[in-house]
Structure 1
Amino acid sequence: MNSFLEKAKALDKIDPLIGFKEKFVNNPSLIYLDGNSLGKLPLKTIETTSNIVKNQWGNRLIRSWNEHWIDLSNEIAKKIALIVGAQPDEIFVGDTTSLNLYKLLFAALTLQKDKTEIITDDLNFPTDLYIIQGLIKQQFKNHSLKVLKSNNEVFIDSATISEAIKKNTSLITLSLVSYKSSFLYNMKTINNLAHKNDSLVVWDLSHAAGATTIKLNETNADMAVGCTYKYLNGGPGSPAFLYVRKDLQNKLTNPIWSWFAHQKPFDFDPNFIESSGIQKFAISTPSILSLGAISPGLDIILEAGIENIQAKSSKQSVFLMDLIQKYLIPLNFKVASPLDQTKRGSHISITHEESYRINRAMITPKNINEKIIIPDFRPPNLIRIGITPLYTSYQDLYEAIIRISEIVTSKEYENFSTEKLTVT
């Protein structure tokens, strides 16, 4: 038997988290390695959402606002706070990641109005860059954006950040884990560098929350945003969250004055009175059907323990890298993630000139008896292999790498067009 396969089976046998896979909808003919883009469906979510639709909406109707819905966002915020190392009254759940980022960036730039430089990097998610560009063009026309260059789009060292921060730096906004390379910043180091120059930091936790240990309070983080549909398993397009450190909350103002940000929304006062605390960052009526689907995934993470999840992620990341070095590097693949596992999030990116068609062949195998394997593709030539420790086994990783090597060796990818699908 292959030594890597033997090792995979042995590691799965002693894996303390192996049983959590059964808490999700599973298809034995499919290996899912895209939880860093959309998490699997927890079985409990089916029951929870069915109750919301059939009973709370179907039978109780508007009475459910007082019975269940009005406090739902706060209940979910408490769970997310435990996962990201914050206090419950520092987390707001609702709206989208982009909208939450807009709110926080606008508020931070307004607070730091005498400083006019914004710093980000070329590893950041494109939408984050779009929002900054829009703010500069529309509201903060005297501001400038400095985009720091990474090392081959894989990583940036802290010295580069340190040299970039000046007295005129208003804020720094970065993704804790890069969506492409999986580079993991040292949050505490960056926060300290910024605070020495009285600059603020806004973190995007979207590719980290639920798979990486995050300590917002311990690292003295200012602000953060994140989505709930990746490692938190909240479902497609599920509401996002934002974090604001408690001592900053009353210094910041939500630029969008609206109903649920009002101090007493159900007084229907025609004049806006800003709510205090984290609730000021709310906007409109919560999306209950989507909001209610988040809790079961969070409960699974809390039961497993985020430290245990990250420990397994790190071990699987090392195992996956060994597999890549053994089977894929000889086939002209390259690793597009940091080689040091302490500087990686929970996915590894590899490149090949035929990455897109290889990805298609993994998802749609020529042999109908072959397992479907779902990673994802990111331009120009990246295959991202996501590790979600709650349901990814070591054998899953082994079989995926062997399958990739077979696709390349047999040139099975040639059965597919180079024309890109709408969603990759």
Structure 2
Amino acid sequence: MTHRLDATDPLAAYRDRFVGAETPLVYFDGNSLGRPLTAMGPRLSRFVEEEWGGRLIRGWDERWLELPQRIGDDLGRVVLGAAAGQVTIGDSTTVLLYKLMRAAVAARPGRTEIVLDRDNFPTDRYVAAGVAEECGLTLRWIDVDLTAGVTPELLADAVGERTALVVLSHVAYRSAWLADAPELTRIAHDAGALVLWDLCHSAGSVPVTLDEWGVDLAVGCTYKYLNGGPGSPAFCYVAERHLPELTQPIQGWLGSVDPFLMGPSYAPAPGIRRFQSGTPPILGMLAMQDMLALVKEAGIGAVRAKSVALTSYAVELGDELLAPAGVVLASPRDPARRGGHVTFTHPLMREVTAALWERDVVPDYRDPGGLRLGLSPLSTSYAEVERGMRLVREALAGLT
């Protein structure tokens, strides 16, 4: 069956474009750090020799200063369903979460609550707690099933006239629960609140249409399914309708209306550039350009179809190979409600993960007892999934 799945996979040839994909190593962590593309080495070399080494500081005027917006527009068009002028690249996910949360609550004066769920990613929760303390606000928590996520019913019960901002993840980092983004956005808007979506586990794997959904704000990283490399910069989306009213709190010179005026006071730039602060991380933006071109070539719809097929195959193998040993699926069984990874739970999964790493099988571990398999659609084969799942069974059997 596995041979047939790989033989009929329309995206199979793309796997050859990733460094290390031809090796026996089983990589189940593409939702934490994507494999590098083979094009990346030559691109870095050319940049060092021709742009950095050849043009030196002239590169800022010639191209570099515009890269955050230019790549942001590409990202918006190919992956995010966002028209030009609403996405920029720079900073880390944490810093951009702070910028957008702080700007959002300032735009809703008189409202006193930030709504988010207890299973949201730790950074989102920690930043929200800091903003709430800084601004004298209250966190209103949504309790969720750890194998699922925030539903419309749960959100409707949590929001109200005091809600300034709702912070949600499109794909839950633990369970892979795929939220109903348009409906949850509507519910928040009906309460008069703004919505900030964390797209870290969906951008590049699950189709996103921010403009169509009416999203206000979004943040995501670029080192998972966008294969930007360790520490590659994050991105932020601010809907065009909000750009005139939102001012971000980290007022750096490159977000000002005329950076080279070096004026005595700060005035924000028009448009999305106002959410920049300091010097753009040019080196960190190089790799994602090749990945965006690859996703555009393959089509995000085809990428999602492969993702669904891979995770469904992993669920099927889990039922066959792992369930008899007491392993439980901790992700939605319905692929329409599941993102690009699958989590299986068992009390020994921490030890299983350590044993697998020793055998060149690389999954992630997440408490409580969760083995998380991140299956990056363009660099993962069905044979890799089957081999890895059989080795999971062997590792578990060796510990019981």
- TM-score, normalised by the number of residues in structure 1: 0.92
The answer to whether the aligner puts 1:398 opposite 2:381 as a matched pair is: no
The answer to whether the aligner puts 1:193 opposite 2:187 as a matched pair is: yes
CA positional deviation for 1:68:
2.7
Pick from 145, 148, 153 the counterpart of residue 151 of structure 1: 145
How does 1:228-377 map onto structure 2 within 5 Å? 228-365=222-359, 372-377=360-365
- Name the SS for the 1:202 alignment partner: strand
Pick from 52, 57, 63 the counterpart of residue 58 of structure 2: 63
CA RMSD of aligned residues (A): 1.2
Distance (Å, rounded) in 2 between the aligned partners of 1:307 and 1:63: 40
Conserved? CA contact 2:12–2:378, under 8 Å: yes
Conserved? CA contact 2:203–2:220, under 8 Å: yes
* Alignment gaps of 5+ in structure 1: 1-6, 366-371, 415-424
- Name the SS for the 1:212 alignment partner: coil
Conserved? CA contact 2:147–2:332, under 8 Å: no
Distance (Å, rounded) in 2 between the aligned partners of 1:277 and 1:68: 19
Amino acid at match of 1:340: D
Q: Deviation digits for residues 363-416 of structure 1, max 9, x if unmatched?
A: 112xxxxxx2111111231111011110111111111111111112233xx8xx
Tell me what 1:381 maps to: 369
Tell me what 1:128 maps to: 124
Amino acid at match of 1:56: E
Count of matched residue positions in the alignment of Structure 1 and Structure 2: 398
Q: Deviation digits for residues 253-272 of structure 1, max 9, x if unmatched?
A: 11111111111111222221
Amino acid at match of 1:11: L
Q: Deviation digits for residues 7-64 of structure 1, max 9, x if unmatched?
A: 1110110111001111110241211110100011011111111122222112221111
- Name the SS for the 2:63 alignment partner: helix
Q: Deviation digits for residues 278-336 of structure 1, max 9, x if unmatched?
A: 11000001111112222112111111111110011112221111110111011111111
CA positional deviation for 1:153:
4.8
The answer to whether the aligner puts 1:28 opposite 2:52 as a matched pair is: no
Amino acid at match of 2:364: D
Amino acid at match of 2:97: L
Moved more, 151-160 or 222-231: 151-160
Q: Deviation digits for residues 101-123 of structure 1, max 9, x if unmatched?
A: 10111011001011111100022
Pick from 201, 210, 224 the counterpart of residue 207 of structure 1: 201
- Name the SS for the 2:149 alignment partner: coil
CA positional deviation for 1:229:
0.4
Distance (Å, rounded) in 1 between the aligned partners of 2:281 and 2:30: 23
Distance (Å, rounded) in 2 between the aligned partners of 1:57 and 1:25: 25
Distance (Å, rounded) in 1 between the aligned partners of 2:31 and 2:37: 15
Conserved? CA contact 1:121–1:150, under 8 Å: yes
Identity %: 36
Moved over 2 A (4+): 152-157
Conserved? CA contact 1:123–1:154, under 8 Å: no
Moved more, 88-97 or 58-67: 58-67
Amino acid at match of 1:51: R
Q: Deviation digits for residues 230-277 of structure 1, max 9, x if unmatched?
A: 000001000100001101111111111111111111122222121011
Conserved? CA contact 2:73–2:86, under 8 Å: no
Distance (Å, rounded) in 1 between the aligned partners of 2:165 and 2:67: 32
Conserved? CA contact 1:235–1:293, under 8 Å: yes
Distance (Å, rounded) in 2 between the aligned partners of 1:384 and 1:214: 23
- Name the SS for the 1:49 alignment partner: helix
Conserved? CA contact 1:309–1:389, under 8 Å: yes
Tell me what 1:96 maps to: 92
Tell me what 1:182 maps to: 176
The answer to whether the aligner puts 1:217 opposite 2:205 as a matched pair is: no
Distance (Å, rounded) in 1 between the aligned partners of 2:287 and 2:264: 33
Conserved? CA contact 2:356–2:391, under 8 Å: yes
Moved more, 93-102 or 293-302: 293-302
The answer to whether the aligner puts 1:74 opposite 2:62 as a matched pair is: no
Distance (Å, rounded) in 2 between the aligned partners of 1:122 and 1:347: 20
Distance (Å, rounded) in 1 between the aligned partners of 2:44 and 2:165: 39
- Name the SS for the 2:210 alignment partner: coil
Distance (Å, rounded) in 1 between the aligned partners of 2:358 and 2:169: 32
Pick from 29, 37, 40 the counterpart of residue 32 of structure 2: 37
Tell me what 1:408 maps to: 396
CA positional deviation for 1:67:
2.4
Distance (Å, rounded) in 2 between the aligned partners of 1:272 and 1:153: 46
- Name the SS for the 1:302 alignment partner: helix
Tell me what 1:418 maps to: none
The answer to whether the aligner puts 1:87 opposite 2:75 as a matched pair is: no
Distance (Å, rounded) in 1 between the aligned partners of 2:282 and 2:113: 38
* Alignment gaps of 5+ in structure 2: none
Distance (Å, rounded) in 1 between the aligned partners of 2:280 and 2:146: 41
Conserved? CA contact 1:183–1:344, under 8 Å: yes
Conserved? CA contact 2:146–2:174, under 8 Å: no
Conserved? CA contact 1:24–1:41, under 8 Å: yes
